[in-house]
Amino acid sequence: MKTKKKLFKRYMLRPFIYMAAFRLMLGGIFLLAWQQFIRNAPGANMIAGFLAALYLLFAFLIYLRMDGLAIPRIKNYRSKMKRKDPTENLGNMADHLDDDTNITYDDLEDDEKDACSFLSNLVCAAVFLVLSFVL
């Protein structure tokens, strides 16, 4: 890792939970759909093991990115696709001073996004690894 700072911070909990839950649901949907629609499919334990290995591979690739590996890209296409905020005033900010600020995944810095993604992939890999032994 580039710096020796804490990997996970308290405000990253909500994006982490949302990301892990979404990935677990996707893996579960894939597992159930594979069992339902593919004839002579391998057992559910083998598919859960495959999903665990896949999430471990994703976690390893994110770990490499956190360690400094960078893939050169042609251009940053996301900056062109982002919608600009409207310039008109939609209300007074004093109305929202007492509101709790919710941090989303898009509000995080790049290293914090990598940490959330890395930890959510590890959680998903652990869940599917346990499922591969249970099913």
| 113 in Cβ contact with 54 (< 8 Å) | no
CA 51 to CA 127: how far, in whole Å? 10
Sequence-distant (6+) residues with CB within 8 A of 19 are 105, 116, 117, 120
Instruction: Extract the residue ranges of the chain whose pLDDT is less than 50.
Output: 1, 4
Written as six digits, the tokens of 54 are: 């896949």
Determine the Cα–Cα distance for residues 24 and 91; give it in Å rounded to an integer.
39
Q: Which residue from 8, 4, 5 is spatially nearest to 119, judged by alpha carbons?
A: 8
pLDDT for the residue 118: 93
pTM for this model (two decimals): 0.74
- DSSP state, residue 101: P
